[in-house]
Structure 1
Amino acid sequence: MLSHASPSGTEKRPRARLGPRLALASAAAFLVAVPFTLLLVLVETSFAPLSRLDRSVAESLHAWALEHPAWVTLLDLWTDAFSPESWRVLVVLSTAWLVHRKAYRLAAWAVTTITVGGLLGLGMKWLVDRARPHLPDPVAVAPGASFPSGHALNAALGAGVLILLILPFLSRRGRALLWCAGGVIVAGVAYTRVALGVHWVSDVVAGVILGAAVVIATTAAFETWRRDMGRRPVEPHLEGVEPEAASEIGPERNTE
């Protein structure tokens, strides 16, 4: 009898922590999704204060861009370097490496996150069908609908995926710096889209929020699956989505 008590108690403790942790992850995803839903409603109802804010910021940044052509060149370089295509290529290359290293679970998570987020963004663009800003003497043009910003969405998705894959290899300080760098890149992409006059402020905010919500949701789902498989509970934002796989996905070592 006593010989069975200890393993059973050990097994129950992680499971006892699972409910609260998953509830917290679900609440986080919900809280991130709420601002997006609010923005969607305000955009769909043409909420006057939001419309005035969008117009005011767009016109101010556009006037600055017209007076500083060198700044426009820098904005173009930034928005092209961190375009949706760039993030997709980086995630696909990372996925290919994960498959090569037989880290199939991480590969599935990465490709699912970027794909689901991208499809949601396209669906929202089709559903809302918001017109892009029409400004005099535009410094840039972009096709398609405006809400949410595809650049901002994919920057949040791509940065989130790559950061969560890299975290297990870094020190505490390195992890903090990586999150800061990711935040700067995403914020920079969002800014360029408004400053170039191809999106409203609410478009880029919605894109970042939607991207973050998708990353949080898929990470929570992955964490649930891990624990069902008997893996130890982790904090993905600090340790990555599967820190145990660091030895699998790291650089290949000569075993001969």
Structure 2
Amino acid sequence: MHRSPLLSRPGRVRTSLQPLWTGAVCALLTVVLLVMVAARWSPLIRLDRTVSDWLHRRAVTEPALVHANRVLTDWLWDPWTMRALVAVAVVALWWHGARLLAGWVAATTVLSSLLQQGIKAAVGRERPRWPDPVDSAHYAAFPSGHAMTAVVSCVLLLWLLRRHGSGPRMWRAALAAAWISVLGVGLTRLYLGVHWPSDVLGGWLLGAALTAFAVAAFDRYESRERPSPGV
């Protein structure tokens, strides 16, 4: 009986500790950055202000570039666009019978949103304020929701693509698209003056930590559920 590629097990389930260690390092860096932000550590605050001031001075003189950045951040790399891509993958997995994996990916995405909003509320950091703003945004600043959602979505989609046998050309294209999206959305938030650089860095680190832990946990569960050789 023919099995769908989405139902096929990967030839080798990863059992290395790499995702777990990646998650631990990113989580530690997130905590360090969060403490510095909450404590308003002077060197970080000065760096945030210096970079943001420089970018804003450029933005107010380049309306066409501002418009392009707004289109990118509000449509192409908007968190709801990213979540929609993940939702399509979840539906495809569910349809092909990989329901545990579909639920895992969906739960990771939901947890990402809850964690992001919880930290925003707890830290309560104000966004940059300008006398001549080129864009606006709501809610607290740290961490950047756009940056975090882009990392979570892209890493999950790359993980699924890797698990189910992408060819070298498709993998390179997907990897390039993911890097462009993650870096691009961070730059748009900074250029539009709605986030401090440390907000974007915090979003990237927190998103990487969450998805690394999710991947490590699923791989661990899957390796334990596989029948031992000879059984």
The bucket for the TM-score relative to the shorter chain is 0.7 to 0.9
Structure 1: gaps spanning 5 or more residues: 1-13, 233-256
The answer to whether structure 1 residue 150 and structure 2 residue 145 are counterparts is yes
1:136 CA drift (Å): 1.9
Identify the match of residue 66 of structure 1 among 50, 60, 63: 60
Q: Who wins on radius of gyration, i.e. which is larger?
A: 1
More helix by share: 1
1:211 is paired with a residue whose SS is helix
Partner of 1:67: helix, strand, or coil?
coil
The reply to whether residue 192 of structure 1 matches residue 193 of structure 2 is no
> Within 1, Cα distance between the matches of 2:134 and 2:207?
27
C-alpha displacement at 1:164, in angstroms? 1.4
Deviation, 1:26, is 2.2
* TM-score after normalising by structure 2: 0.88
Q: Using the alignment, how far apart are the partners of 2:82 and 2:174 within structure 1?
A: 16
Using the TM superposition, give the Cα deviation of residue 78 of structure 1 relative to its aligned residue in structure 2, in angstroms: 0.9
Aligned counterparts of 1:44 and 1:126: Cα–Cα separation in 2? 12
| Cα shift at 1:171 | 2.2
Which range moves more in the overlay, 144-153 or 179-188? 179-188
Shift of 1:99: 1.1
Give 1:54's aligned residue.
48
**For residues 176 and 91 of structure 1, what CA distance do their matches in structure 2 show?**
19
User: 1:34 deviation in Å?
Assistant: 1.4
Measured in 2, the distance between the counterparts of 1:213 and 1:231 equals: 29
Q: Deviations over 1:99-141 (max 9, x none)?
A: 1111112201210111111111011001100000001200000
Q: What does residue 159 of structure 1 align with?
A: 154
1:207 has 2:206 as partner: no
Partner of 2:102: 107
User: How many pairs align?
Assistant: 215
How far does the alpha carbon of each residue in 1:25-83 deviate from its partner, in whole angstroms, 9 at most, with x for none?
32221111111111101101111111011101111111111111000011011101211
- Aligned partners of 1:59 and 1:135 also within 8 Å: no
Write the letter of the residue equivalent to 1:58: S
Q: Is residue 178 of structure 1 aligned with residue 174 of structure 2?
A: yes
Name the residue aligned to 2:25: 31
- 1:231 CA drift (Å): 6.7
- Seen in structure 2, the aligned counterparts of structure 1 residues 133 and 231 have a Cα distance that, compared at 3 Å, is farther
Conserved 8 A contact 1:132-1:146:
yes
TM-score for the superposition, normalised by structure 1: 0.79
Shift of 1:175: 2.1
Residues 202-255 of structure 1, C-alpha deviations (whole Å, 9 max, x = no match): 0001001111111100000000011011179xxxxxxxxxxxxxxxxxxxxxxx
Q: Secondary structure at the match of 2:37?
A: helix
AA at the equivalent of 2:211: V
Counterpart of 1:138 in structure 2 is 133
Change (3 A) 1:88 1:102: same
Amino acid at match of 1:212: A
- Does residue 45 (structure 1) correspond to residue 39 (structure 2)? The answer is yes
Structure 2 regions of 5+ residues with no counterpart? 1-11
Matched-pair contact (CA < 8 Å) for 1:87–1:158: yes
Q: Provide the identity percentage.
A: 36
Shift in CA distance, 107/134, structure 1 to aligned 2, threshold 3 Å:
same
1:127 equivalent in alignment to 2:111: no
CA distance in 1, matches of 2:35, 2:135: 28
Query: Are the aligned partners of 1:65 and 1:139 in contact in 2 as well (CA < 8 Å)?
Result: yes
RMSD of the alignment, in Å? 1.9
